[in-house]
Chains A and B, each alone.
Chain A
Amino acid sequence: MSGNDAALLEIEDLVTEFGGAKAFLGKPQRIVRAVDGVSLQLKPGQALGLVGESGCGKTTIAKTALGLVREKSGTMRLDGRVVSGLAPKDARRARATVQYVHQDPGAALDPWWSIGHALDETLRIHGVSDKGERTTRIDEMLRAVGLDPTFRTRYPHELSGGQQRRVGLARILVLRPRIVILDEPTSGLDLSVQATVLGVIDELRQRFGLTYLFVSHDLSVVERMCEEVAIMYLGRIVEIGPTKEIFARPQHPYTRALLAAAPRLEPGSLNDTPALPGDPPSPTNLVSGCTFRPRCAFAAPKCAEARPPLRSVGERHSAACVRLEEIGADTPA
Chain B
Amino acid sequence: MMLEKPAPVLEIRDLSVSVGTDEGEARILDNAGLALMPGSIHGVVGESGCGKSTLIRAILGILPKRGRATHGSIMLGERNLLGLPADTLQKDVRGRAIGFIPQDPFQALNPVFRVGTQLLETVRTPGDSKATRETKKAHVISLLKAVQLPDAEHALDRYPHQFSGGQRQRLLIAAALASAPGIILADEPTTALDVTTQLQILKLLRGLAIDRGLSMIFVTHDFGVVAQLCDTVTVMYAGQTVESGPVAQVLKAPFHPYTQMLLACHPERAAELAGIPGAVPSPLRPPQGCRFNPRCPSARPACSAGQPPRVAPQPGHAVRCVLHLDEAAA
- A residues in contact (CB < 8 Å) with B: 53-54, 160, 162, 190-199, 202, 217-221, 223-225, 257-258, 260-271, 273, 275-276, 279-280
Given known A269-B227, A270-B206, contact A199–B267 (CB-CB < 8 A): no
Query: Among the listed A160, A195, A217, which residue makes an inter-chain contact with B270, where contact means beta carbons less than 8 Å apart?
Result: A195
B212 interface residue, CB < 8 Å from A? Answer: no
Count of chain B residues near A, Cβ 8 A? 41
- State A262–B48 Cα separation when bound (angstroms): 21
Pairs across A and B, CB under 8 Å, 7 listed: A191-B221, A223-B267, A223-B268, A224-B270, A261-B198, A265-B223, A279-B167
Given known A196-B275, A265-B251, A265-B268, contact A279–B166 (CB-CB < 8 A): yes
A192 touches B261 (CB 8 A): yes
A221 touches B196 (CB 8 A): no
A275 touches B199 (CB 8 A): yes
Having A193-B275, A265-B223, one finds 10 other A-B pairs with CB under 8 Å, namely A160-B279, A195-B276, A199-B272, A220-B268, A221-B267, A224-B270, A267-B227, A267-B247, A270-B202, A275-B196
B166 touches A192 (CB 8 A): no
Query: Among the listed A190, A192, A260, A264, which residue makes an inter-chain contact with B268, where contact means beta carbons less than 8 Å apart?
Result: A264
Closest chain B residue, CB of each to CB of A260 = B199
- State A261–B201 Cα separation when bound (angstroms): 11
B 210-255 contacts with A by CB, 8 A = 221-225, 227-229, 247-248, 251
Given known A258-B195, A279-B197, contact A265–B269 (CB-CB < 8 A): yes
- State A195–B274 Cα separation when bound (angstroms): 6
A276 touches B262 (CB 8 A): no
B222 touches A263 (CB 8 A): yes
- State A196–B224 Cα separation when bound (angstroms): 19
A196 touches B274 (CB 8 A): yes
B286 CB, nearest partner CB in chain A, Å: 17
- State A98–B280 Cα separation when bound (angstroms): 36
- State A258–B199 Cα separation when bound (angstroms): 10
- State A199–B277 Cα separation when bound (angstroms): 13
- B residues in contact (CB < 8 Å) with A: 47-48, 164, 166-167, 194-200, 202-203, 206, 221-225, 227-229, 247-248, 251, 261-263, 265-270, 272-276, 279
- State A217–B222 Cα separation when bound (angstroms): 14
B224 touches A263 (CB 8 A): yes
A279 touches B164 (CB 8 A): yes
B224 touches A267 (CB 8 A): no
A273 touches B199 (CB 8 A): yes
Closest chain B residue, CB of each to CB of A56 = B194
- State A202–B274 Cα separation when bound (angstroms): 11
Query: Among the listed B195, B206, B276, which residue makes an inter-chain contact with A263, where contact means beta carbons less than 8 Å apart?
Result: B195
Chain A residues whose CB sits within 8 angstroms of the CB of B270 once the complex forms: 195, 224
A158 CB, nearest partner CB in chain B, Å: 13
B224 touches A192 (CB 8 A): no
B274 touches A264 (CB 8 A): no
Chain A residues whose CB sits within 8 angstroms of the CB of B265 once the complex forms: 191-192, 194-195
- State A162–B224 Cα separation when bound (angstroms): 22
Query: Among the listed A54, A198, A217, A263, which residue makes an inter-chain contact with B225, where contact means beta carbons less than 8 Å apart?
Result: A263
| Secondary structure class of chain B's binding surface, majority of residues | helix
Given known A192-B47, A195-B274, A224-B267, contact A264–B227 (CB-CB < 8 A): yes
- State A85–B247 Cα separation when bound (angstroms): 54
Chain B residues whose CB sits within 8 angstroms of the CB of A196 once the complex forms: 273-275
Given known A190-B47, A270-B202, contact A202–B273 (CB-CB < 8 A): yes
Chain B residues whose CB sits within 8 angstroms of the CB of A160 once the complex forms: 279
B199 touches A199 (CB 8 A): no
Which of B223, B228, B248 has its CB near the most chain A CB atoms (within 10 A)?
A: B228
Chain B residues whose CB sits within 8 angstroms of the CB of A279 once the complex forms: 164, 166-167, 197
Given known A224-B267, A261-B198, contact A190–B221 (CB-CB < 8 A): yes
Chain A residues whose CB sits within 8 angstroms of the CB of B47 once the complex forms: 190-192
Which of B194, B261, B263, B272 has its CB near the most chain A CB atoms (within 10 A)?
A: B194
Chain A residues whose CB sits within 8 angstroms of the CB of B267 once the complex forms: 194-195, 198, 218, 220-221, 223-225
- State A269–B276 Cα separation when bound (angstroms): 29
Closest chain A residue, CB of each to CB of B200 = A275
- State A160–B224 Cα separation when bound (angstroms): 25
A263 touches B197 (CB 8 A): no
Given known A160-B279, A192-B262, A265-B269, contact A53–B224 (CB-CB < 8 A): no
Given known A195-B265, A221-B267, A265-B268, contact A53–B196 (CB-CB < 8 A): yes
Closest chain A residue, CB of each to CB of B192 = A54
- State A268–B202 Cα separation when bound (angstroms): 12
Chain B residues whose CB sits within 8 angstroms of the CB of A266 once the complex forms: 227
Query: Among the listed B167, B229, B269, B275, which residue makes an inter-chain contact with A192, where contact means beta carbons less than 8 Å apart?
Result: B275
Chain A residues whose CB sits within 8 angstroms of the CB of B221 once the complex forms: 190-191
Chain B residues whose CB sits within 8 angstroms of the CB of A199 once the complex forms: 272-275
B227 touches A53 (CB 8 A): no
A262 touches B195 (CB 8 A): yes
- State A286–B197 Cα separation when bound (angstroms): 19
Chain A residues whose CB sits within 8 angstroms of the CB of B222 once the complex forms: 263
Chain B residues whose CB sits within 8 angstroms of the CB of A261 once the complex forms: 195-196, 198-199
Closest chain A residue, CB of each to CB of B47 = A190
Chain B residues whose CB sits within 8 angstroms of the CB of A218 once the complex forms: 267
- State A279–B229 Cα separation when bound (angstroms): 21
Closest chain B residue, CB of each to CB of A199 = B273
B62 CB, nearest partner CB in chain A, Å: 24
Chain B residues whose CB sits within 8 angstroms of the CB of A268 once the complex forms: 227-228, 247-248
Chain B residues whose CB sits within 8 angstroms of the CB of A197 once the complex forms: 275
B52 CB, nearest partner CB in chain A, Å: 12
Chain B residues whose CB sits within 8 angstroms of the CB of A162 once the complex forms: 275
Closest chain B residue, CB of each to CB of A188 = B48
- State A193–B265 Cα separation when bound (angstroms): 9
